[in-house]
């Protein structure tokens, strides 16, 4: 037990050292404050910024390997990742039971505050819901939309199913809290092939989730209908969908159905679970880099 604790502490310290190069920033977006991290890229690189949106149990820090590879690599571009409203130091949305458009409005305000008129947008899991809503509302601002292990939401489901899913997750949050979620649920995010380091990183991110923000995001998940937003984007925004072959949270068949709605290319990443970009960074960095180059 002591050895496991020491290993986790060592991994967290190593992660925080790497994250120090991408220190948290914040900016006012209308009445909201948005915290984020950024790799500035190479001066003079005219490539559009890559904007990364995390999932329900995560935060901006989860993308550190993408900052390093894509923002500081061979041909570095500007890479940004926000803490969604209610996460990190970001102001929560006003509604107790928000919809995707509430988060998309904050995203628009954040990009405005940073002077970003157009970007490549990638969303993971719940972040895909926000990305899809933003692209549907502002197609001219999105040169390409990449959905990674997208959560579809339960907005089109039977009301009883929606309420059951929402209540179960809120009860779990109330029982476990952020640290308990990290201890009990983080392993579900990864495939059996994940390294101890990847497991520690997922646990570290999940343990820092703000309960109120997580609760609002739970309502968002219950209210959202990503497929409807993707249907609005067809013919307006180039899209693609990717998922880990061993993702048990948003399984490949569910993601493939969303790709069909989006009329978008679909691919699976071998030996990767739900948080594939953490456990298989080389594969996901190549996927992101290729998508950015194409769009």
Give the side-chain half-sphere CA count within 13 A for 134.
32
Q: How sure is the predictor about 5, in pLDDT bands with cuts at 50, 70 and 90?
A: very low
Could you read off the pLDDT of 115-163 as tens digits, one per residue? 999 999 999 999 999 999 999 999 999 999 999 999 999 999 999 999 9
Query: To 10 degrees, what angle do helices 126-137 and 226-233 make?
Result: 40
pLDDT above 60: residue 4: no
pLDDT surpassing 90 at residue 74? no
Q: Could you tell me what percent of the chain has a pLDDT over 90?
A: 88
Q: What is the model's pLDDT at position 2?
A: 46
190-228 core/surface letters (b: 16 or more CB in 10 A; e: else) = bbeebeeebbbbbbbbbbbbbeebbbbbbbbbbbbbbbb
Q: Average the pLDDT over each of 60-74, 78-92, 101-115, 243-257 and give the range with the smallest value.
A: 60-74
Q: In this structure, which long-range contacts are made by residues 72-77, counting pairs with CB atoms below 8 Å and at least 24 apart in sequence?
A: 72/39, 75/42, 75/45, 75/47, 76/39, 76/41, 76/42, 76/45, 77/41, 77/42, 77/45, 77/47, 77/48, 77/49, 77/50, 77/292
In angstroms, the CA 222 to CA 163 distance is: 7
Lowest mean per-residue pLDDT among 36-45, 50-59, 87-96: 36-45
Residue whose structure tokens are 């894509």: 70
Average pLDDT, the chain: 94
Average pLDDT of the residues in 59-88: 94
pLDDT at 7 > cutoff 60:
no
pLDDT above 70 (res 6)? no
Secondary structure (3-state) at 140: helix
pLDDT at residue 9 is higher than 80: no
pLDDT value of residue 11: 66
Alpha-carbon distance 77 to 113, whole Å? Answer: 19
Tens of pLDDT, residue by residue over 229-267, are: 999 999 999 999 999 999 999 999 999 999 999 999 999
Domain spanning 2-294, CATH class: alpha beta
Which pLDDT does position 1 carry in this prediction?
A: 44
* pLDDT value, residue 254: 98
| Model confidence, pTM | 0.95
């Amino acid at each position: 037990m002591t050895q496991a604790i020491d290993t986790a502490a060592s991994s967290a310290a190593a992660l925080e050292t790497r994250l120090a190069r991408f220190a948290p920033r914040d900016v006012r977006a209308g009445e909201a404050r948005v915290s984020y991290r950024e790799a500035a890229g190479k001066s003079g690189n005219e490539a559009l910024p890559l904007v990364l949106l995390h999932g329900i149990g995560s935060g901006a820090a989860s993308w550190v390997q993408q900052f390093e590879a894509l923002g500081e690599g061979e041909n570095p571009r500007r890479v940004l990742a926000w803490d969604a409203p209610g996460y990190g130091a970001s102001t929560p949305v006003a509604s107790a039971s928000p919809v995707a458009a509430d988060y998309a409005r904050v995203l628009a305000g954040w990009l405005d505050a940073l002077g970003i008129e157009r970007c490549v947008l990638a969303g993971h899991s719940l972040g895909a819901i926000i990305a899809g809503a933003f692209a549907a509302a502002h197609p001219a601002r999105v040169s390409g939309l990449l959905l990674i292990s997208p959560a579809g939401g339960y907005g089109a489901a039977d009301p009883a199913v929606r309420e059951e899913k929402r209540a179960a997750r809120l009860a779990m949050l109330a029982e476990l809290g952020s640290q308990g979620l990290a201890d009990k649920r983080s392993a579900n995010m990864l495939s059996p092939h994940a390294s101890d380091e990847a497991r520690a990183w997922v646990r570290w991110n999940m343990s820092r989730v703000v309960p109120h923000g997580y609760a609002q995001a739970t309502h968002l998940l219950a209210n959202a209908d990503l497929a409807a937003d993707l249907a609005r984007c067809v013919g307006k925004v180039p899209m693609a969908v990717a998922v880990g072959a061993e993702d048990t949270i948003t399984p490949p068949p569910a993601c493939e159905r969303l790709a069909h709605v989006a009329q978008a290319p679909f691919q699976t990443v071998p030996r990767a679970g739900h948080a594939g970009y953490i456990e298989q960074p080389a594969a996901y960095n190549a996927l992101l880099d290729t998508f950015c180059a194409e769009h």
